[in-house]
Structure 1
Amino acid sequence: MPVQSGRTALAEAAREFFAQWEQAKGYWTDRQSREFERTYIEPLREAVKAALKSSEEIEKLTRAVRRDCE
């Protein structure tokens, strides 16, 4: 899978997941929900951001290598 395709798939999956989480928060509003968000959702959100940024850098490097090899 090309880096661009993977990045797009991750971005779309994350967008859907976090939208569903926001919807679930409307029903699950206790302390456990806030703890779950702090423990799992927030770190996941940061990890997804980092992965998307890294994949963008990989794509840039891959293009540069291809350009240099032509």
Structure 2
Amino acid sequence: MLNFDWLNSVSVGVARGIILGIFGLIVIAVWFLRREYVLESVDAPRPWHNLKWWATGVMILLGLLYLYF
């Protein structure tokens, strides 16, 4: 049904670079979210309530795992 034979010509290094670039774009997009939107339901925000930091940490962890395996 779907023909992905063209992916055979893409090297592993290029594929990793593309995926890590997508991870980076996701992190950048998260940091452009408004603070009010991220902390909408928090009455007294503390530093650990900021989901931007959590999302960045998770994406870094995913990137490191992707590089390792």
TM-score norm. by structure 1 comes to 0.51
With over 3 angstroms needed to count, the CA separation of the structure-2 counterparts of 1:25 and 1:3, relative to structure 1, is: farther
Greater relative contact order (Cα 8 A, min sep 6): structure 1 or 2? 1
Cα distance, 1:5 vs structure 2: 1.2
Specify every segment of 5 or more residues in structure 1 that has no aligned partner in the other structure, as ranges.
56-70
**Aligned equivalents of 1:25 and 1:51: distance in 2?**
29
Runs of 4+ with deviation above 4 angstroms: none
Q: Once the two structures are aligned, what percentage of the paired residues are identical?
A: 6
Counterpart check, 1:34 vs 2:43: no
Specify every segment of 5 or more residues in structure 2 that has no aligned partner in the other structure, as ranges.
1-9, 43-48
Match of 2:21 in 1: 12
Instruction: Report the aligned-residue RMSD.
Output: 2.9
What is the aligned residue count? 52
Bigger proportion of residues as helix: 1
